[in-house]
């Protein structure tokens, strides 16, 4: 049975996404931090890891982009999940009793409009959504709520005070499946790379031209600051195609002429609905 | 005397940056949220606003990129500041007494390595760095610390428990000066735009080519998810040149052929050290 590492406690969205991707016949391994998920895969304590990489409301999960840079893991799959956030409290607690809301910072951000309509409610960042439900239950907190999934509320026998409080119902998260060895899964159609450019004029345009000249579609580009180098950037780029295709191999070889750093983090099958 | 709106309380980094840009002969207007800074400028309650847009360790301040999209304000200037973060507590408190650390989420992130070495210390996100110092002082908290500037510690007569705890000494923040009317300041050499692309093949490559074809240097490109549109993006792009130059006007006219949305948010003088 495959063992899958994820960040958070049981019923976290990452665990729900893992079941969507692998099915129910898996063992899940909760980790406190994203870095622990990477370590669990690198050390072969888990067969795979699952990490959120982008949310359609709040954007990329930069911490995982940054971790991917230094890690030896590769991306072997992708899955997306609609994220419904609910305001959850102990039984009999009322909305007007709430003075503090606990959740993961990304969840707090996804519900920014809802929370802004209660300016007196304090928000406290916690390690994960489902864990914040367990926390307010275990501490029997009567003035606190948590933001998490329906499954987290039901499993903890807690009350949903308000349903679907995310700002935008088109609230989806993309997750990457990571493994310790490079794999080329069946149906692979997408590749992710990280690169930084040489300091030459028009470098960004030239890097994108290696794909355009070979009719390779760019799916996404994202920039991140390089640590310790002021206003220098790493680029995270997804393109349509795999490293088994000659035109993609040629594009990457061409790109190496322009870049000072280049890492292919994996070819995999793009998430479907 | 110019009145400058900023987010946070007195001695916040934004206020320090405002004095670096305008000098000391200004009146500063503290606002609770970034959106209040925008409103204060839009409603002409302040002459200018100052907003952080990017940190060299943690990346863009996405909330302000998002607010800029909907606002009528324009960018008229830029300033950068080295950000030194200090761990601040009430007098006589010792490092080993600390169980909780308050600060702005960006500051907590900039000190991620330091905080990770104290896994038992809880972190609580607050509205601003300097305000978290006032908070632990006013509440006489003996097991709490705040992360903020030296000025915030000194002004509140608080103790610096540990100096320069930011992960990276190359920790700089860029701030934009915003105004309610378009201005073309003396020495302007940089322009910021926001656009989204038509759904055509190679759209991103074509949008960058309008600059490359005219030898206009790209300084930065950043993507953000479009609200309510799953996996569609807005691009935030900075280029070298101003809207007074014919080649830049031509590039923007060319770009309009390819984009479904385009907004020039201002030409201004790039920050110097």
Residue boundaries of the structural domains of chain B: 2-82+171-179, 86-162, 190-268
Share of chain A above pLDDT 90, in %: 72
CA distance, residue B205 to nearest chain A CA (Å): 6
Report the pLDDT value the prediction gives residue A104, as an integer from 0 to 100.
Answer: 87
Contacts of A83 in chain B (CB under 8 A): none
Q: Which residues of A are catalytic?
A: 173, 175
User: pLDDT at residue B185 above 90?
Assistant: no
Using CA atoms, how far apart are residues B127 and B35, in angstroms rounded to an integer?
13
- The answer to whether domain A86-162 and domain A190-268 are alike in fold is no
CA distance, residue B152 to nearest chain A CA (Å): 23
Mean pLDDT of A141-158: 95
Confidence of residue B35 (pLDDT cuts 50, 70, 90): very high
User: pLDDT at residue A229 above 90?
Assistant: no
Sheet holding B100-103, edge to edge: B122-125, B100-103, B144-148, B86-89, B159-162
Report the pLDDT value the prediction gives residue A67, as an integer from 0 to 100.
Answer: 93
Say if domain B86-162 classifies as CATH 3.40.50.1970.
Answer: no
ipTM of the complex: 0.79
CA distance, residue A1 to nearest chain B CA (Å): 32
Report the pLDDT value the prediction gives residue A41, as an integer from 0 to 100.
Answer: 98
Three-state SS at A224: strand
From the candidates B9, B123, B173, B259, give the one annotated as an active-site residue.
B173
Instruction: State the best of B35, B39, B59 to mutate against chain A, taking most chain A CBs within 10 Å.
Output: B59
- CATH superfamily of domain region B190-268: ACT domain (3.30.70.260)
b/e B3-21 (16+ beta carbons within 10 angstroms → b): bbbbbbbbbbbbbbbbbeb
pLDDT digits (tens, 9 = 90+) for B60-119: 888 899 899 999 999 999 999 999 999 999 999 999 999 999 998 889 988 988 998 998
Task: Say whether B211 is catalytic.
Answer: no
Listed in sequence order, the residues at least 6 apart from A169 whose beta carbon sits closer than 8 Å to its beta carbon are: none
Mean pLDDT of B208-217: 94
Cβ–Cβ gap B212/A229 under 8 Å: no
Contacts of A228 in chain B (CB under 8 A): 168, 170
b/e B96-116 (16+ beta carbons within 10 angstroms → b): eebeebbbbbbbbbbbeebbe
CATH, domain A2-81+171-179, list 3.40.50.620, 3.30.420.40, 3.30.70.20, 3.40.190.10: 3.40.190.10
Report the pLDDT value the prediction gives residue B184, as an integer from 0 to 100.
Answer: 85
Name the residue among A150, A151, A96, A143 with its Cα closest to residue A124: A143
Phi, psi of A142 (to 5 degrees): -100, -5
Q: Where are the beta strands (DSSP E) in chain A?
A: 2-7, 26-31, 48-55, 59-60, 74-82, 86-89, 100-103, 122-125, 144-148, 159-162, 172-179, 190-197, 218-225, 233-240, 259-268
Cβ–Cβ gap B56/A225 under 8 Å: yes
Report the pLDDT value the prediction gives residue A68, as an integer from 0 to 100.
Answer: 95
Q: Are strands A144-148 and A172-179 parallel, antiparallel or unpaired?
A: unpaired
Domain B2-82+171-179 falls in which CATH fold? Answer: D-Maltodextrin-Binding Protein; domain 2 (3.40.190)
Query: In whole angstroms, what separates CA B240 from the centre of its chain?
Result: 20
Structure tokens at A40: 């669990």
Tell me how many residue pairs between chain A and chain B have CB atoms under 8 A apart: 95
CA-to-CA dists, residue A227 to A69, A70, B58, B114, angstroms = 11, 12, 9, 16
Which of B11 and B19 is assigned the larger pLDDT? B19
Cβ–Cβ gap A208/B211 under 8 Å: no
Report the pLDDT value the prediction gives residue B209, as an integer from 0 to 100.
Answer: 93
Average pLDDT, chain B: 93
Instruction: State the best of A32, A135, A190, A205 to mutate against chain B, taking most chain B CBs within 10 Å.
Output: A205
Using CA atoms, how far apart are residues A85 and A150, in angstroms rounded to an integer?
8
Instruction: State the best of B56, B78, B251 to mutate against chain A, taking most chain A CBs within 10 Å.
Output: B56
Structure tokens at A115: 């929370």
Cβ–Cβ gap B170/A229 under 8 Å: yes
| Shortest CA distance from B66: residue in chain A | A58
pLDDT digits (tens, 9 = 90+) for B147-159: 999 999 999 999 9
pLDDT digits (tens, 9 = 90+) for A245-270: 999 999 999 999 999 999 999 999 99
User: pLDDT at residue A199 above 90?
Assistant: no
Share of chain B above pLDDT 70, in %: 100
Report the pLDDT value the prediction gives residue A84, as an integer from 0 to 100.
Answer: 94
Asked whether the CA dihedral B157, B158, B160, B161 is positive or negative, the reply is positive
Listed in sequence order, the residues at least 6 apart from A114 whose beta carbon sits closer than 8 Å to its beta carbon are: A87, A162, A165, A166, A167
Report the pLDDT value the prediction gives residue B228, as an integer from 0 to 100.
Answer: 74
Contacts of A208 in chain B (CB under 8 A): 204-205, 208
Contacts of B123 in chain A (CB under 8 A): 125
| Shortest CA distance from B109: residue in chain A | A63
Listed in sequence order, the residues at least 6 apart from A245 whose beta carbon sits closer than 8 Å to its beta carbon are: none
Contacts of B105 in chain A (CB under 8 A): 105, 125
Confidence of residue A230 (pLDDT cuts 50, 70, 90): confident
Structure tokens at A51: 């990490």
| Shortest CA distance from A224: residue in chain B | B59
Confidence of residue A170 (pLDDT cuts 50, 70, 90): confident
CA distance, residue B57 to nearest chain A CA (Å): 6
Task: Say whether B173 is catalytic.
Answer: yes
pLDDT digits (tens, 9 = 90+) for B102-138: 998 889 988 988 998 998 898 887 878 998 999 999 9
Contacts of A223 in chain B (CB under 8 A): 220-223
- Chain B residues with at least one Cβ partner in A under 8 Å: 54-59, 62, 105, 123-125, 167-168, 170, 172, 174, 201-202, 204-205, 208-209, 211-212, 215, 217-218, 220-225, 227-231, 233
Confidence of residue B230 (pLDDT cuts 50, 70, 90): confident
Structure tokens at B188: 């302007």
pLDDT digits (tens, 9 = 90+) for A51-99: 999 988 888 888 899 899 999 999 999 999 999 999 999 999 999 999 9
Report the pLDDT value the prediction gives residue A144, as an integer from 0 to 100.
Answer: 96
Structure tokens at B123: 């972190």
Report the pLDDT value the prediction gives residue B257, as an integer from 0 to 100.
Answer: 94
């Amino acid at each position: 049975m495959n063992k899958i590492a994820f960040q958070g406690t049981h019923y976290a969205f990452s665990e729900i996404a893992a079941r969507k991707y692998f099915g129910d016949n898996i063992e899940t391994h909760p980790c406190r931090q994203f870095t622990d998920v990477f370590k669990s895969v690198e050390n072969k304590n888990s067969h795979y890891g699952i990490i959120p990489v982008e949310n359609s409301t709040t954007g990329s999960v930069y911490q995982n982009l940054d971790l991917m840079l230094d890690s030896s893991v590769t991306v072997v799959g992708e899955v997306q999940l609609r994220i419904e956030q609910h305001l959850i409290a102990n039984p009999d607690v009322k909305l007007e009793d709430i003075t503090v809301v606990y959740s993961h910072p990304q969840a707090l951000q996804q519900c920014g409009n809802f929370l802004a309509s209660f300016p007196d409610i304090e928000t406290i960042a916690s390690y994960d959504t489902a864990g914040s439900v367990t926390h307010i239950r275990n501490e029997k907190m009567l003035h606190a709520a948590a933001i998490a999934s329906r499954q987290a509320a039901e499993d903890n026998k807690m009350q949903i005070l308000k349903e679907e409080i995310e700002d935008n119902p088109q609230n989806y998260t993309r997750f990457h499946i990571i493994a310790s060895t490079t794999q080329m899964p069946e149906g692979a159609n997408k590749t992710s790379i990280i690169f930084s450019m040489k300091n030459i004029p028009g470098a960004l345009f030239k890097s994108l031209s290696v794909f355009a000249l070979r009719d390779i579609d760019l799916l996404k580009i994202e920039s991140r600051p390089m640590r310790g180098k002021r206003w220098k950037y790493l680029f995270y780029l997804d393109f349509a195609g795999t490293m088994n295709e000659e035109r993609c191999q040629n594009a990457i070889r061409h790109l190496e002429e322009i870049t000072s750093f280049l890492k292919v983090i994996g070819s995999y099958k793009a998430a479907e609905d």
